[in-house]
A and B are shown apart, each in its own frame.
Chain A
Amino acid sequence: MDVRTHMSMIFHLDKCIGCHTCSVACKNLWTDRKGAEYMWWNNVETRPGTGFPTQWENQEHFRGGWERKKGKLDLKLHTRLEGIFKLFYNPSLPGLRDYYEPFTFDYQNLFNSPKKDVQPIAEPISMITGDPIDIETGPNWDDDLGGSNIYAKNDVNLEDLPQEVREQMNELERLVFNYLPRICNHCLNPACVAACPSGAIYKRDEDGVVLVNENDCRAWRMCVAACPYKKVYYNWNTGKSEKCILCFPRMETGQAPACAHSCVGRIRYMGVLLYDADQIPTAANVPDDELIAAHREMILDPFDPKVIAAAKENGIGDDWIESAQNSPAYKFVKEWEIALPLHPEFRTMVMMYYIPPLSPVVSVTEKSLFRLDLMQEDYDFELFDRLDAARLPIKYLANLFSAGDEGTIRTVLRKLLAVRIYMRRKTVHGKVDSVSRKTLAEAGLTEEQAIDMYKMTTLPTMEERFVFPNYHREMSIKAILDPLTHKGEVGLGYIQQPKRGE
């Protein structure tokens, strides 16, 4: 057992209101630079939809992630030999038109326009060429099902749904969507790291943040093509690749990443997960339907004395172990087993998890007319037993979060519904009846767990949502250099010392 620590984020999709505050916070903090205009280290997608870049999940086109061949894991992008031949021509690489041409508007014209018979307008301008453009698409062009006949209809995850279900989802009264915020998943088996010919990408030891060393990056852009989530971006100005850094400078000072901190719906949780690094190769190489179980198996119980002993042997401090014990991530992923990785079939072993959304308000048919109705208990129970009636097809969620395994999604949704029913009985009716207890038991939850889940979902404090250990950066300096050697130095340019005349 090789115990390691990881900072993981949980996205509670039921709470996401699709406001894009996370994206804007991230953009303002990190990617508001020349060459980074088109990058959205954090973006929010409407589902069903094609996401950003368009149809990024279509790995037949983009060839990201890993492939299982003859019991061995290989990059889907290319073998080593193919990689050499594709060094200068890599057709799987997304181009700017796969993302969008970043634009702004000529606002000055509103102020400086000469007197005319018509109102001046702010013309759209390309942020790359500076020329006026016709905006064709954007990072969330299909937001809230905009242009759904083009985008939502072509969602890759709808592919193996029966045709009549797909048609139903297009009917006005049955339209349904939810939001999917995405950042870099800081995978345990990152395809970007594996694909980099320069060895410029690495996974940080203490918290698992995957980082690009910009000094080593030589702009091969293999990472951009190999990442199945398309979360490494190429900066055309600096000629280096860039990606989400999980706001490590903020985490090191005990603050939540900008996207999580600014989240209006408070959908994001963060905490330490302990995992067994020895299990990564086996857990990434199991058949599709065992992926979730193997992934959960790899996450270790921070209360287990054996795990604690092994962690200490690996040099993990008491405060990190304690932080792992208080981690909301551990509760959601392992204790309640309701948080799932996004697209586990890409086999990169992602460390960001999603709690799948319960469908929005059920629509019922009455006298052959559709009526949006507030859920009554009957419908609650009906849905609990007949999840297939949910507006968002189970198969669709399964394609997103469990490599197509509907059973996993059913279990999770039944848990979420059981807690909802139980708490409604308790707060609205004032007492818990045997029926709601039975639902809980059927979903595999105890009453305490239900109450904990309810509290963690609805009423968590900032400190409960974000549990950060001390990073001890002073120790990592000490590990490399005696701190006294820095005494008398300027304290600037730790990596590249300032030199006169250079």
Chain B
Amino acid sequence: MEVKHKIWNSVGGRSFVILLLSGVLLIGSFFQAAASPGFQSSDEGKDIFEKNCVSCHSIGEGSLVGPDLEGVLDRRDRDWVRDFITIPDQIIVSGDPIALELLTEFNNIPMPNLGLTEAEVEALLVFLEGGESVAPVADAPLPEGNLDRGSAFFTGEDVLENGGTPCIACHTVGSVGPFGGGNLGPDLTRVYGRFGEAGLTGVIKDIAFPTMQGIYVDKALTDQEIADLLTFFATVDAEGEEGVADSATTTFWIIGLLGSGILFGIMAFYWPRQRETLSDRLRRDAGITSRRHS
């Protein structure tokens, strides 16, 4: 079946269609470009705040893990606040005096880099300017925690209900396991003391650390699991010793190097004593020695 497009078949018509289409696309792209940065509402900022900040900060309800953010924009320069929300880790490292002071004030718990985009930070600032007060998350109280279960969740002996990765994959704590835990994340021995119960609950519930966010995105911990882990962290904080994992790592290296040394030694002994191939044997019997394998 052939469909005749009358406009398309004439040269003039064709140029007209192409010009029209390009025009539509061009105008559309202007609108698209113009649409991006505008329209920031304090609603959007509120959403971001409740999702990312509320586990550590309140507005007008007092300090938690981090400072009360009421009137923060009056206290600090707007640009400084914007930079600190965007790249707090770099600012702390750069030795910024305000940042260091805050760090000391809040038990050396650094503000994590949340990986917010420029637009999201802008929306957040618009929200903070509004002066609306936000109470800290008032959740139902956690159930009673169990130390053994908490320990089992940490080490992965028990599987987390929603399939989350056990903590030991990235963190070490006290003297857990013969070789300690992973060292991608920080040592969690003193984490309970640093964050406090409320802070730690908030941090586990609404994860504020970008690395962890990705891992637990659809695998949130249940309240019972959090309670168990908190009990475990509290006990470790009271009894455990920090830095045990470091010495365990050294032992691990020594055993590993010694072991591979022994294996290589055995191999060095047996390698030249491998069975001769029939092909080589036939040639050797016939008095032909290869130049490479003589």
| CB interface residues, B 265-288, toward A, < 8 Å | 275, 277-280, 282-283, 285-286, 288
Cβ contacts under 8 Å, B279 to chain A: 50, 53-55, 97-98, 100, 137
Any B CB within 8 A of the CB of A134: yes
**Docked complex Cα distance between A100 and B279 (Å):** 9
**Docked complex Cα distance between A177 and B110 (Å):** 85
Q: Which residue of chain B lies nearest to A135 when distances are taken between CB atoms in the complex?
A: B290
Are A151 and B282 within 8 A (Cβ)? yes
Q: Most chain-A Cβ atoms within 10 A of its Cβ — which of B275, B278, B292?
A: B278
Chain A, interface size category, equals: 20 to 34
Are B282 and A150 within 8 A (Cβ)? yes
Any A CB within 8 A of the CB of B4: no
Cβ contacts under 8 Å, B292 to chain A: 133-134, 136
Are B282 and A50 within 8 A (Cβ)? yes
Any A CB within 8 A of the CB of B291: yes
Cβ contacts under 8 Å, B278 to chain A: 50, 54-55, 58, 61, 98
Instruction: Kindly identify which residue among B277, B283, B286, B291 contacts A95, using a CB–CB cutoff of 8 Å.
Output: B277
| CB interface residues, A 44-77, toward B, < 8 Å | 50, 53-55, 58, 61
**Docked complex Cα distance between A95 and B280 (Å):** 11
Cβ contacts under 8 Å, A55 to chain B: 278-279, 282
Task: Tell me the dominant secondary structure on chain A's binding face.
Answer: loop
**Docked complex Cα distance between A136 and B290 (Å):** 7
Q: Most chain-B Cβ atoms within 10 A of its Cβ — which of A55, A91, A150?
A: A150
* A240-256 contact mask (Cβ, 8 Å, vs B): 1 or 0: 00000000000000000
Measured CB to CB, the closest approach of chain B to A477, in angstroms, equals 31
Q: Which residue of chain B lies nearest to A93 when distances are taken between CB atoms in the complex?
A: B275
Cβ contacts under 8 Å, A97 to chain B: 277, 279-280
Cβ contacts under 8 Å, A54 to chain B: 277-279, 282
* B80-110 contact mask (Cβ, 8 Å, vs A): 1 or 0: 0000000000000000000000000000000
Measured CB to CB, the closest approach of chain A to B273, in angstroms, equals 11
Cβ contacts under 8 Å, A151 to chain B: 282
**Docked complex Cα distance between A154 and B292 (Å):** 24
Q: Which residue of chain B lies nearest to A55 when distances are taken between CB atoms in the complex?
A: B278
**Docked complex Cα distance between A151 and B285 (Å):** 11
Any B CB within 8 A of the CB of A470: no
Any B CB within 8 A of the CB of A198: no
Any B CB within 8 A of the CB of A149: yes
Q: Which residue of chain A lies nearest to B279 when distances are taken between CB atoms in the complex?
A: A54
**Docked complex Cα distance between A188 and B283 (Å):** 36
Instruction: Kindly identify which residue among B283, B285, B286, B290 contacts A134, using a CB–CB cutoff of 8 Å.
Output: B290
Cβ contacts under 8 Å, A134 to chain B: 290-292
Are B283 and A150 within 8 A (Cβ)? yes
* A353-394 contact mask (Cβ, 8 Å, vs B): 1 or 0: 000000000000000000000000000000000000000000
**Docked complex Cα distance between A149 and B283 (Å):** 10
Q: Which residue of chain A lies nearest to B286 when distances are taken between CB atoms in the complex?
A: A150
**Docked complex Cα distance between A91 and B275 (Å):** 7
Measured CB to CB, the closest approach of chain B to A34, in angstroms, equals 23
Instruction: Kindly identify which residue among B277, B283, B286, B290 contacts A98, using a CB–CB cutoff of 8 Å.
Output: B277
Instruction: Kindly identify which residue among B275, B283, B286 contacts A136, using a CB–CB cutoff of 8 Å.
Output: B283
Measured CB to CB, the closest approach of chain B to A300, in angstroms, equals 40
**Docked complex Cα distance between A54 and B277 (Å):** 9
* A316-358 contact mask (Cβ, 8 Å, vs B): 1 or 0: 0000000000000000000000000000000000000000000
* A178-210 contact mask (Cβ, 8 Å, vs B): 1 or 0: 000000000000000000000000000000000
**Docked complex Cα distance between A151 and B280 (Å):** 11
Cβ contacts under 8 Å, A100 to chain B: 279
Q: Which residue of chain A lies nearest to B292 when distances are taken between CB atoms in the complex?
A: A134
* A67-104 contact mask (Cβ, 8 Å, vs B): 1 or 0: 00000000000000000000000010011011010000
**Docked complex Cα distance between A69 and B58 (Å):** 82
**Docked complex Cα distance between A134 and B292 (Å):** 8
**Docked complex Cα distance between A97 and B277 (Å):** 7
Measured CB to CB, the closest approach of chain A to B275, in angstroms, equals 6
Q: Which residue of chain B lies nearest to A142 when distances are taken between CB atoms in the complex?
A: B282
Measured CB to CB, the closest approach of chain B to A390, in angstroms, equals 27
Measured CB to CB, the closest approach of chain A to B193, in angstroms, equals 43
Measured CB to CB, the closest approach of chain A to B278, in angstroms, equals 4
Q: Most chain-A Cβ atoms within 10 A of its Cβ — which of B278, B279, B291?
A: B279
Measured CB to CB, the closest approach of chain B to A104, in angstroms, equals 18
**Docked complex Cα distance between A55 and B282 (Å):** 10
Cβ contacts under 8 Å, B285 to chain A: 150
Cβ contacts under 8 Å, A154 to chain B: 282
**Docked complex Cα distance between A97 and B293 (Å):** 11
| CB interface residues, B 3-45, toward A, < 8 Å | none
**Docked complex Cα distance between A150 and B282 (Å):** 6
Measured CB to CB, the closest approach of chain A to B163, in angstroms, equals 20
Cβ contacts under 8 Å, B275 to chain A: 91
Q: Which residue of chain B lies nearest to A95 when distances are taken between CB atoms in the complex?
A: B277
Cβ contacts under 8 Å, B280 to chain A: 97
Measured CB to CB, the closest approach of chain A to B277, in angstroms, equals 4
Cβ contacts under 8 Å, A94 to chain B: 277
Measured CB to CB, the closest approach of chain A to B13, in angstroms, equals 36
Q: Which residue of chain B lies nearest to A62 when distances are taken between CB atoms in the complex?
A: B278
**Docked complex Cα distance between A149 and B279 (Å):** 13
**Docked complex Cα distance between A137 and B284 (Å):** 13
Q: Which residue of chain A lies nearest to B284 when distances are taken between CB atoms in the complex?
A: A150
Q: Which residue of chain B lies nearest to A137 when distances are taken between CB atoms in the complex?
A: B279
Q: Which residue of chain B lies nearest to A150 when distances are taken between CB atoms in the complex?
A: B286
**Docked complex Cα distance between A149 and B286 (Å):** 8
**Docked complex Cα distance between A133 and B293 (Å):** 11
| CB interface residues, B 152-184, toward A, < 8 Å | none
Question: Chain A residues in contact with chain B, CB under 8 A?
Answer: 50, 53-55, 58, 61, 91, 94-95, 97-98, 100, 133-134, 136-137, 149-151, 154
- 20 A-B pairs in the complex with CB atoms less than 8 angstroms apart: A50-B278, A54-B279, A54-B282, A55-B278, A55-B279, A55-B282, A91-B275, A94-B277, A95-B277, A97-B279, A133-B292, A134-B290, A136-B283, A136-B292, A136-B293, A137-B283, A149-B286, A150-B285, A151-B282, A154-B282
Known: A55-B282, A150-B285. 17 other contacts (CB 8 A): A50-B282, A53-B279, A54-B277, A54-B278, A55-B278, A91-B275, A97-B277, A97-B280, A134-B291, A134-B292, A136-B283, A136-B290, A136-B292, A137-B283, A150-B282, A150-B283, A154-B282
Minimum-distance CB pairs A-B, first 3: A54-B279, A150-B286, A55-B278
